[in-house]
Structure 1
């Protein structure tokens, strides 16, 4: 018996040593070891604030502005401004959409007009890689709603029960002459056509509801598969096991001091390495943008807590009503490469040093003392080849300086090899002064960017005047 016990003790000790060794030698996972998170959002009012912006976080709590804090997409349809963007990934991960409110306050439209006679459309972009995006299009979702006055704050979620997306948004349908926003939904498979809108969420009486977002929970967390957070005077939580089924009121966040009079724009994010969620809320009443609220069970209001202010940071821009996507490693690599924080710079003429390259109505010329964003470009890695550059507009992201018939225009990148070649240049020592720069065409290497009668052209350079005209300084 003693021999058997001794043998068992030896086995136990060996097992403990093996377990201890594994525990001690397994490194703690670094916060940035896994892919991070992409937030799409807008930043404020005006024609530039109400566009699409991207931010990235390695841990979900500390955010960095992408693209130097500049916009990543700009709407050129409808009101030419967008708010409340939602970023949607297809179940197969092979397609993405951004859907947004077609609204531009301070761009010729007041809040009263937007509420009572606003756009009935949403603005939609599509991509297959999160990097190259289509031109935006308008999707009419509220035109079929009797007395529907607008379409705000869209969201979409894949519904496995119907094998398509539930697209939902707020529309003002006045009640007894008073404003009343409620949530409508339609089904879609491509964000180009939708089914007839139906009422999705409506609160009793005159209570309005504008913002709502749904999160899907894993098995074993709470009693519901889906939880939605809505701004309806409170931040109300509801649970359901079916997106289009019955929803149960779970309570609100007034217990931690947050109500709909203070915050709006609920935005869910699940930490990828643990069962913990952040519900980001836009502090619109104080104008401070998003703050996080943490929970280990979204369906239980009593589990929510406000983290210490020093435990998170939102980056340089004010982040307002958007959505967050948990990235794969491949997605993260593409996004961080495409929207790296390349500085905005100007091109100063060598022989007219008070003039800078700028675009005006998408034509390109040199003008005097231009400091506006029309004269600012990001020198991106060349679209057609390594060791080259392409000039991307700061205030029209996705638009590049391109030659066509040796003339220059600012043109949206259509993704073609011809576009890439026409928009790519080699930066070489200045033809008139080697401390400056000249830009040689990638696909017409005997020609350079130069100005002629203040217009930008692509020409062979054979004279001293041509060398002067083809020399520029890259400056801030």
Structure 2
């Protein structure tokens, strides 16, 4: 009996010791992750769109070392493109997890360039957001749709999403504008849901409703350390009645979902959301890396000039905001987006991937239509003459994604996007890193089927099929006649 009791005591001590080791190991892992996340910030990354041009409603990135002077990444071309929903995105927000081990970009699913009217977009538009996910800030998942506004009665859209980590609940508050009827008034209000993974969301709840006919479309919240100015969180919102009488409203709170105190607006700086002359929208917070001041960037949509910055060392009083001169936004117009402070490691990764100069690539000339070249158009691949812009027909012919003996075709103006076959049709897609993608995007060059001085490209995973055009559209097919051999023959030219 005593021996059994002793054995139990030993077992208990050992179990307690092992439990302590497990807790210590877990604490060390979490501490290491948080330490990495708290590395000093040395740069800034801006995610934005540029406007209603053909490619303007996609994800663009810019980098800065001082927060005021910006360099367009990827030679000014989009970094991420939407292939879901409307196939266009606006108002991107970039989010980092507290441990710095995961990132998300969320954006409005909207493409005005497709011919959609603003009335249709607001009343009969997409009720989904577009989401990308990454573990390193440079390799991003395929875009996915999340129907955040599907649970809102009469919802006409889901615009201008933002997200902030809520330490009170250890998850993220995602908030956006939806135009819908409520209490007899149809207008844009700010709604929110909570999520821990940007896949599953709670039912939407009203976040901001100014009352009456006053709508709110754009809102962004920033957390400040040490409750500078008296509060932990500050938010800026674009309020207005059909853009005829509105303001950039500044509010403060000590909790993301708590009560908010109205601190005022920016009319003392002649800045408002009134009318379309000099009106601003899309408020975008940016803590300066010196830790002692904040920028509030405002999108001058009324004049089309893009963002302008204000600066404040104390957000607790709107009179502390001052206009800033001596800033540069780079070549691209910067429209409604968000800014992420970067560690040195994050800056290095971003600049290594997209900061390099993108030299002109090579073209693939058709053998039997020698005035036509392989190009991408709206993410389809075809042959066309007189390609505009020229970079749509320029490719980097790189070692095949599956390895030795094959090649892959990477787009010059959409780095990370490759020609790949899908149901035998050739499309341009961003690599998702999967073995299926690598195989679909790899080809074995062989002597040209129509002329041995040219080249044909055999599919890696369907070796009985070759890259060819049919009705000017590229696909992979078995080749059995002279027409097919000519269609499947190309030449690499500068």
User: Fold-level match, TM-score > 0.5?
Assistant: yes
The match for 2:236 is 229
Provide the residue aligned with 1:342 in structure 2.
358
Match of 1:207 in 2: 214
Hey, what does 1:254 align to over in structure 2?
Answer: 267
Which of 309, 312, 326 aligns to 1:295? It is: 312
Partner of 1:58: 65
Partner of 1:4: none
Match of 2:110 among 88, 103, 119: 103
- Match for residue 342 of structure 2 among 312, 327, 339: 327
| 2:314 matches 1:307 | no
- Gap change, CA 1:415 and 1:237, over 3 Å in 2: same
Shift of 1:326: 0.8
Distance in 2 between residues matched to 1:420 and 1:236, nearest whole Å = 49
**Contact 1:209 1:230 (8 Å CA) reproduced:** yes
| Residues 368-391 of structure 1: CA deviation (Å, up to 9, x unaligned) | 3333568434538655789x9853
- C-alpha spacing 1:285/1:411, structure 2 compared with 1 (3 Å): closer
Could you tell me which of 299, 320, 335 is aligned with 1:282? Answer: 299
Which stretch of the first structure deviates more once superposed, 329-338 or 63-72?
329-338
Q: Residues 151, 451 of structure 1: CA spacing in aligned structure 2 closer, same or farther, 3 A cutoff?
A: closer
Q: Structure 1 residue 173: deviation in Å?
A: 2.4
Cross-structure match for 1:472: 492
Q: Which secondary structure does the structure 2 equivalent of 1:114 belong to?
A: helix
Deviation of residue 69 (structure 1)? 0.9
How far the C-alpha of 1:359 sits from its partner, in A, is 3.9
Cα offsets for 1:11-37 (capped at 9, x unmatched):
xxxxxxxxxxxxxxxxxxxxxx96311
**CA displacement, residues 27-68 of structure 1 (integer Å, 9 cap, x when unaligned):** xxxxxx963111111100144211111111111101111111
Instruction: Describe how 1:424-463 pairs up with structure 2 within 5 A.
Output: none
Residues 387-423 of structure 1 show CA distances to partners (whole Å, capped at 9, x for unaligned) of x985333676643024799996544412035644775
Give the conservation status (yes or no) of the 8 Å contact 1:65–1:315: yes
1:391 maps onto 2:427 in alignment: no
Return the offset for 1:170: 1.0
Q: Counterparts in 2 of 1:177-192, with a 5 A limit?
A: 179-192=186-199
In the TM superposition, residue 77 of structure 1 has moved relative to its aligned partner by 1.6
User: Does the 8 A contact of 2:363 with 2:395 survive in 1?
Assistant: no
Q: RMSD over aligned Cα, in angstroms?
A: 4.0
Q: Distance in 2 between matches of 1:409 and 1:143?
A: 31
Counterparts in 2 of 1:344 and 1:228: CA distance versus 1, 3 Å: farther
In structure 2, the partner of 1:317 is: 332
Q: Is contact 2:358-2:412 (8 Å) kept? A: no
TM-score, normalised to structure 2's length? Answer: 0.76
Alignment partner, residue 202 of structure 2: 195
Q: Which residue of 2 aligns with 1:15?
A: none
Aligned to 1:114: 121
Q: Deviations over 1:129-158 (max 9, x none)?
A: 112211111111112122322211111100
TM-score normalised per structure 1: 0.79
Aligned-partner SS, 2:112:
coil
Q: CA deviation at 1:274?
A: 3.3
Instruction: Measure, in 2, the Cα distance between the counterparts of 1:85 and 1:307.
Output: 24
2:393 counterpart (366, 376, 393): 376
Aligned to 1:91: 98
Q: 1:350 to 1:113 in 2, by over 3 A?
A: closer
Partner of 1:17: none
The CA distance in 2 between the partners of 1:173 and 1:202, in whole Å, is: 12
Residue pair 2:398, 2:410 contacting (<8 A) in 1 also: no
Count of residues paired in the alignment: 435
> What is the distance in 2 between the residues matched to 1:415 and 1:198?
37
Asked whether 1:123 is paired with 2:141, we answer no
For the residues of structure 2 that align with 1:222 and 1:184, how far apart are their CA atoms? 27
Gap runs ≥5 in structure 2: 1-39, 240-245, 479-484
The answer on whether the counterparts of 2:360 and 2:391 sit within 8 Å (CA) in structure 1 is: no
- 2:32 is aligned to none
Note closer, same or farther for the CA distance 1:452–1:240 as it changes in structure 2 (3 Å cut): closer
Change in CA separation of 1:306 and 1:378 when aligned onto 2, cut-off 3 Å: farther
